[in-house]
């Protein structure tokens, strides 16, 4: 089975590509290696993937001609679209980056899937689509009409376009609402990465929301396991418009406070963080938690990595990689 995996040099893409290859999938990776964060980290991930047999195309999603050439020259069974401009706060100052990648790029990919008739289109959404919702835990059935950031709005747009393409063209699609994914080879712009770096270096860390914010931290291996189980699960024809589309929360339903999260890192490092407490940032939400009952019906009881184990694994990797 041949898979096009966009964002292959990214955090989730890297881990997923390794697993796909180990399961016998023929993987074509697409990534533009942009400089949103350290490109050396992306290149090192890519070197590992190239060494185990992934085919790689460097290019931008918004380049319609490039994307069309990939679909025209490659017989694809599945497309897993993870590439996007990430980051809630970055979207406040750089809105056009999100329109280019998350809207135009998404459109190029889903149009290629339509024209070539791929078996199943899976794409990254985000827990951010729940926006200003206050009901916890978040359910896939919740209304998501109040995004708190442009990033969230682009992800909601992706879900709507996928629904429309299923209704109009019969394209089976599955949206993956990821909840605060963390782990080895992660993104340096994420809070946990910055915390470990700054604590080790003796620098201050910014603790937003005065440490009282809650997040459903989800370990990378658990995310990959869920995606692998969902790839062959083609959505059934259902509901309004006879669509073949589904959306799943990918989270473990065990949110922790930011304060506890930092304490877990401190315990692993055997160091005390120097903290600066600040109010919640613009675009952020106070709490996230995934209702994962829908995913459980499809995948069965997935084992979720506890926070202490996940943080321990990340810190061990960080020290090995940087120190």
User: pLDDT by residue (tens digit) across 67-83?
Assistant: 999 999 999 999 999 99
Report how far residue 94's alpha carbon sits from residue 34's, in angstroms, rounded to the nearest whole number.
Answer: 14
Task: Note whether 2-179+217-250 and 182-216+253-289+297-322 share their fold.
Answer: no
Q: pLDDT at position 272, please?
A: 97
Note the pLDDT tens digit of each residue in 180-201: 999 999 999 999 999 999 999 9
pLDDT-derived band of residue 219, with 50, 70 and 90 as boundaries?
Answer: very high
DSSP summary character for residue 222 = H
Report how far residue 75's alpha carbon sits from residue 224's, in angstroms, rounded to the nearest whole number.
Answer: 24
Report how far residue 313's alpha carbon sits from residue 320's, in angstroms, rounded to the nearest whole number.
Answer: 11
Sheet containing 78-81: order of strands: 55-58, 26-31, 2-6, 78-81, 120-126, 173-178, 245-250
Note the pLDDT tens digit of each residue in 118-137: 999 999 999 999 998 888 89
Catalytic annotation present for 192: no
Q: Which fold has domain 182-216+253-289+297-322?
A: UDP-galactose 4-epimerase; domain 1 (3.90.25)
Lowest mean pLDDT among 30-44, 196-210, 280-294: 280-294
DSSP summary character for residue 243 = B
Neighbouring C-beta atoms of residue 308, cutoff 10 Å: 11
Residue 283 has pLDDT above 80, yes or no: no
Report how far residue 312's alpha carbon sits from residue 319's, in angstroms, rounded to the nearest whole number.
Answer: 11
pLDDT-derived band of residue 91, with 50, 70 and 90 as boundaries?
Answer: confident
Which residue stretches of 136-289 are H helix?
Answer: 150-169, 191-201, 220-230, 258-269
CB 231 within 8 A of CB 120: yes
Specify the pTM: 0.96
Residue ranges covered by each domain of the chain: 2-179+217-250, 182-216+253-289+297-322
- CATH classification code of 2-179+217-250: 3.40.50.720
Note the pLDDT tens digit of each residue in 129-177: 999 888 889 999 999 999 989 999 999 999 999 999 999 999 999 999 9
Residue 291 has pLDDT above 90, yes or no: yes
Which entry of 78, 123, 130, 151 is annotated as an active-site residue?
151
Tokens describing residue 78: 């599945």
Tokens describing residue 239: 């509901």
pLDDT-derived band of residue 48, with 50, 70 and 90 as boundaries?
Answer: very high
């Amino acid at each position: 089975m041949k898979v096009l995996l966009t964002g292959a040099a990214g955090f989730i893409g890297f881990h997923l590509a390794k697993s796909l290859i180990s399961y016998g999938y023929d993987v074509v990776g697409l990534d533009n290696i942009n400089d949103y964060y350290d490109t050396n980290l992306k290149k090192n991930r890519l070197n590992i993937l190239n060494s185990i047999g992934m085919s790689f195309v460097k290019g931008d999603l918004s380049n319609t001609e490039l994307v069309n050439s990939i679909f025209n020259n490659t017989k694809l069974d599945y497309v897993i679209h993870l590439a996007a401009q990430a980051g809630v706060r970055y979207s406040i100052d750089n809105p056009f980056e999100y329109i280019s990648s998350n809207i135009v790029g998404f459109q190029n990919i889903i149009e290629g899937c339509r024209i070539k008739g791929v078996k199943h289109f899976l794409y990254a959404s985000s827990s951010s689509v729940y926006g200003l919702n206050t009901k916890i835990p978040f359910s896939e059935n919740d209304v998501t009409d109040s995004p708190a950031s442009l990033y969230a709005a682009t992800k909601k747009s992706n879900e709507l376009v996928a629904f429309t393409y299923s209704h109009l063209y019969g394209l089976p699609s599955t949206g993956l609402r990821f909840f605060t994914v963390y782990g080895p080879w992660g993104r340096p712009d994420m809070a946990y990465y910055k915390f470990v770096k700054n604590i080790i270096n003796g620098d201050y860390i910014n603790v937003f929301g005065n440490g009282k914010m809650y997040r459903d931290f989800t370990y990378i291996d658990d995310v990959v396991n869920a995606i692998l189980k969902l790839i062959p699960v083609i959505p059934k024809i259902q509901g309004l418009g006879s669509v073949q589309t589904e959306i799943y929360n990918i989270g473990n339903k065990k949110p922790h406070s930011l304060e506890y999260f930092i304490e877990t890192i401190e315990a692993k490092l055997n160091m005390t963080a120097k903290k600066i407490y600040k109010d919640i940032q613009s675009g952020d939400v106070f709490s996230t938690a995934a209702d994962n009952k829908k995913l459980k019906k499809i995948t069965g009881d997935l084992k979720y990595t506890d926070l202490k184990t996940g943080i321990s694994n990340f810190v061990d990797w960080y020290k090995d990689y940087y120190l």
